[in-house]
Each structure stands twice: as C-alpha cells, then as structure tokens.
Homo-oligomer: A and B are copies of this chain.
C-alpha cells in the first residue's frame, strides 16, 4: 500500500491528539484514504519536554527548514497557533507545493485571503476544518453540503470556555469570577482568559464562517463585540423568569445585501435547541432558504475532537490525490460484521403491569427480575381499584433475553392481570 509522509508543526494539545488518532485508528484511516499515513517529522520547541503520547525522539526537530525543504513530505499540518512564525511556515510549505492543514483561527480570520491565494497559485489544497467548532464539521457543511442554499443567518455558540462559564452561572448559580476560576481549574479556560471572555475568539470564528456563508471577505474587527464579564447572577435569574437562557451568541445575517455581524451575551428562548447547548459544547444553527433550520452540535475544543477535524482534512486531501477505486477495493474485501441476536442487546426497561393489589405481588415480581439478573432502578405504584392497580418498574440496563424471560414468568403470576407495556430506555451515554 502507498505510504504518504506528512509533518506536524507543533505537538501541543491538538498535535498530540492528531498523533494519537493516527495511531489508534490506523486501520480505519487506511481504509478511508486508501493509503498509509506516516508522520515523518514534527516541529517542536523542546525535544525533551514530557508529553502524554509516546513519540520517537528521532522524528522531533526544532528546525522548520528540515520539514519545509523535505521533498518527501506531502502535507504540512500547522498546529502551533499564533500569527508568526505559523503563517510564514504555511506560506513556505505552500510555495514548496505541499498541501496545508491548519487549526489556526487567528490566521484564517486575519490573513486567510493571502493563504487561499497562495494555495490556488501553487495548486495545492489548504484545509482548515478545525479552525471553527473543533470537531463539528461546520466548514465542510457550509462549503459542500449547503451549496444549494442561500444562507440567510447563522447563530453560533462557538466558544466553549464562555459557554462553560455561563452554564455554571445559570445551572449552579455561581457568579462570573467563581465560574471563571472553576473553568481555569478544569483546563477549559486559559490563565489569560481575555480572548475567550471578551469574545475575541468568537469574533475570529464568526469572521471565518460568515465569510464562507455570505461569500464575501469579513474583517473580524468589523464585528460588534461584547464579552461576558459584566453578566450578573440577577440577570440570569430574570432571564429564567422570562423563560430565556443566556448564551454568548455569534450572529451573522444577510439583510438587504448588507451583513449584520455581532457577538454578545444574548437571551434566547429556553425551548430553542441552542438554549440546551451546555458546558463546553458548541453548536451552530444555520438557516438556508432551501434546507430551513439546521443545527450542528458537538465538542468545540479538546485534543481528540479538534484532532478529528484535522485528520479528516488530511484524509480528504489524500482522497483527492488518489484513485478512488483503490479505497473501494479495500472496502469490498473487508470481512462482514454479524448483527447480534436481539437477546444480547442491552437497554434499561420500563415495564407497566396491571396487577391485583395483594401483599405478595411486588415481592414476587421483584424476585423474578432478580433471578434473571434484571436490577430494579425505580418502582411506581398508583391508586386503582383493588383488582386493577397499575405497577411500573424502571430497570437498570439489562440483557434483552433476561428481560424477555422475566416477562414470561411475570405473566404467569396469578396476581398479574396483564403486562401492559414494555418500553426500552436508552441513557445515551
């Protein structure tokens, strides 16, 4: 199988995520891109620093030139962050006819055009799915899935740090400073949190996605911006009273051929899908004139989710370079997977019975469930007449075969009139 050499610039949080995905999912990735990916070099500041992942020292380098000038490296993945030297390195990689993948929202929002043009001139690919929304494929969504639409508006919760803080303030009644401190402790907020809490980060991201959505270049500095530092618990309480949730919302709309662009704390109806996007999750709600309402929800940051977007971009580049039938050949020769018997399926269960109100009935049923390894989470017994009482069991997760056996035995009990309902429960963990 063909082997493709790539290099990473940077081995911080996201870089280690990319390394670990390329190793853990080696087989899936090989199937999906029809070739083997080898990280042949990684640019780091300090070769000896301790890292979560085990990377052979001989591929680490502190010299960018030995990556940018290596003709064997086909894709350069920029994960250093910051403006320079990241931008210079990407431009050099492009001039050396290498494809480039980046997660750098700051560069995209400030110098995106320059990089797009360079990539076009050199006929290489330049992908940046990870720059907005972490693992959420919002860039591909706009660029490829919604091409049939005129996009009318975007509403995004695109900063996980502030969403975590607002969730804590809203659900646990914390004030801003306490919530920020907790976010910093858990690694959701940086030591210097200004870019997040003053909404600069969200403005960069809104600039990127509104440029794509509305087909025009958007300067991040032209976006009206308000951070969340001044939000008071009392305002969050009033919001609840009026049935709103407060979110740091990035808004992009096209109105009469002009753009309305703003990022600020916003009250939104508590029944709206965006209102229930909590903790460090992100979500983007798009309205297209054909597709209607569409929402993407997922992890907006973190090593593996962001790495998922980065590696997805790498695979897209390799696919566009390769004979697609080679992928299909691998896929067609994979061993089939068996569908397991429903008796082995695992669910919680809701079981509603019609029973006679006699002293032993609950105990008899509990004993049957116990014998079959079906453990009870909760029981509810409502009023009825003595001969017809509704009795409801909620079980922990159990093997379906065991539940079916229990139900057969329960049906045979004298004091059980009928098994009225059996409904599976999924806790969706």
Which residues of A does B touch, CB under 8 Å? 17, 21, 24-25, 28-29, 31-33, 116, 120, 129, 135-137, 140-141, 144-150, 155, 214-219, 222-224, 230-232, 234-235, 238-239, 241-242, 244, 246, 249, 251, 254-255, 257-262, 264-269, 271-274, 276-277, 281, 285, 288-299, 302, 304-305, 307-312, 314-316, 325, 328, 331, 334, 336-340, 342, 344-348, 350, 352, 378, 380, 390, 392, 394, 420-421, 423-428
Contact = CB atoms under 8 A, between A and B. Distances in A.
A155 B295 CA distance: 16
A21 B268 contact: no
Contacts of A260: 339-340, 344-346
Contacts of A297: 273, 293-297
Given A144-B316, A238-B380, A420-B232, A298 B302 contact: no
A25 B149 contact: yes
Contacts of A223: 339
B427 A269 contact: yes
Nearest to A336: B216
Nearest to A334: B215
Given A215-B334, A266-B424, A298-B294, A308 B339 contact: no
Contacts of A308: 146, 148-149, 288, 290-291
Contacts of A314: 148
4 smallest CB-CB distances across A and B, nearest first, come from A148-B311, A137-B145, A290-B308, A135-B291
